[in-house]
Structure 1
């Protein structure tokens, strides 16, 4: 493991739009999801403040929305133009900002400094890309009734936590594969199908571990990739739907739970 928890870093907040009317923004009566107010602060404010507390010395917001851009600048962040989809936005950010780069999203409403510090302290060495995921048990213990999209592996059911560490310039090689995965993000079996028939068979029979799948995806993209487990179940709760917004409003900062289990690398 590396020990980056107390070192400064650059962070990218994705605050783009997939086009059309965002259901969460419409439900909250604002023009953009990043401007939704939770406990007196916009989601963008909460995420940017959390990143600062975790050690970020440069925060950049990727957006094409004028109000969000102005809000980001007022918060002391930088703003760059987003592209069509988060993966291409990240590729553009790598070219503009370089690496290493911590990536998260504006709708990570409950994000906490401790989660980020733990993630960075658990980063394995010699990796180009690291993703944070949480187990179903941790998520459901922290937020009973929440509905997440899970990938089912031999070592459990996992959901993404919207935190990525792009350690080297080689991380850009994962973007094209990510763009393909984006299309299938709500259909996990299609994501796994890209791993090949033999690997797909292992996935369907629950003989494929998360670490094996991520490493295989990394090889397809010619990058060194791995996953790290978050012990914080709420790290997997973002605001994709109006129900998610109701959930995070109900939980509130005071109800953020402590780790449900030990964390670290997902590799077993």
Structure 2
């Protein structure tokens, strides 16, 4: 079994976060979900997963995040960059970084060891792998949910906040991500950053997602793999009040 290092992104955006304030904190990662700070849930899932041997939580407010987490020799809380892309780019540029590297987020409150194992098994060997959920199974499971969908021939997909980096070669993809980081909730801008053929192909449904990723990978000189998660709940994070209500209901068995 391949041993993975996991990064959990628990940083904060500048300014006041009304979502966090509504839950009695100024840090989104510390919003209570099911009775515990949100960041605790993905961290515990990673520590429980048999293929994860190191968990590195990245945050600006390290002491406060660390105080919420369990004590474990495999767990560390380290400084975060100003943006997601800058943070990941710094780790890929560090010669001491161990691969493969799994990246997820503090708001992935439904992450569990089975999702982690499913993703890692199918991501292993790629320079970059992206966890996704296809729309049909998610809408069957949660018809009321609203997601950002990337639409291609053969399916529409929502991100699962799971990324795998097999080598430092994937840094070229992170630079591409930097160009659209502020527009990550606007699917057409993300696709547009992949180039005019990708944008036209997606608009006209001429290409599948696999074909698009293969073309982008060839352009960047890396292998990019789509990992379609078997559990559609992998696409549900806690990014807004409606998500918080939905995830709480799922954890309590009401949804």
Same fold flag (TM > 0.5) = yes
Q: CA separation in 2, counterparts of 1:124 and 1:44?
A: 25
Q: What SS is found at the alignment partner of 2:247? A: helix
User: In 2, are the aligned partners of 1:174 and 1:221 still within 8 Å (CA)?
Assistant: yes
Aligned-pair distance for 1:70?
3.8
Gap runs ≥5 in structure 1:
1-5, 257-268
Question: Cα deviations across residues 145-183 of structure 1 (Å, max 9, x unaligned)?
Answer: 111000011011100000011111212222111111212
Aligned-pair distance for 1:193?
1.9
Gap runs ≥5 in structure 2:
none
Q: CA separation in 1, counterparts of 2:69 and 2:201?
A: 45
Q: CA separation in 1, counterparts of 2:20 and 2:219?
A: 36
Q: Give the corresponding residue for 2:216.
A: 217
Residues 29-178 of structure 1 correspond to what in structure 2 (within 5 A)? Answer: 29-55=24-50, 56-65=52-61, 66-72=63-69, 74=71, 77-94=75-92, 95=94, 97-123=97-123, 125=125, 127-178=126-177
- Structure 1 runs of 4+ aligned residues shifted over 4 Å read 72-76, 253-256
Question: Cα deviations across residues 47-93 of structure 1 (Å, max 9, x unaligned)?
Answer: 11100111222110110014114434746521221112111111222
Q: What SS is found at the alignment partner of 1:17? A: coil
Aligned-pair distance for 1:124?
5.7
Please give the root-mean-square deviation of Cα atoms over the aligned residues, in Å: 2.0
Q: CA separation in 2, counterparts of 1:46 and 1:36?
A: 11
Q: Give the corresponding residue for 2:9.
A: 14
User: In 2, are the aligned partners of 1:63 and 1:69 still within 8 Å (CA)?
Assistant: no
Aligned pairs, how many?
250
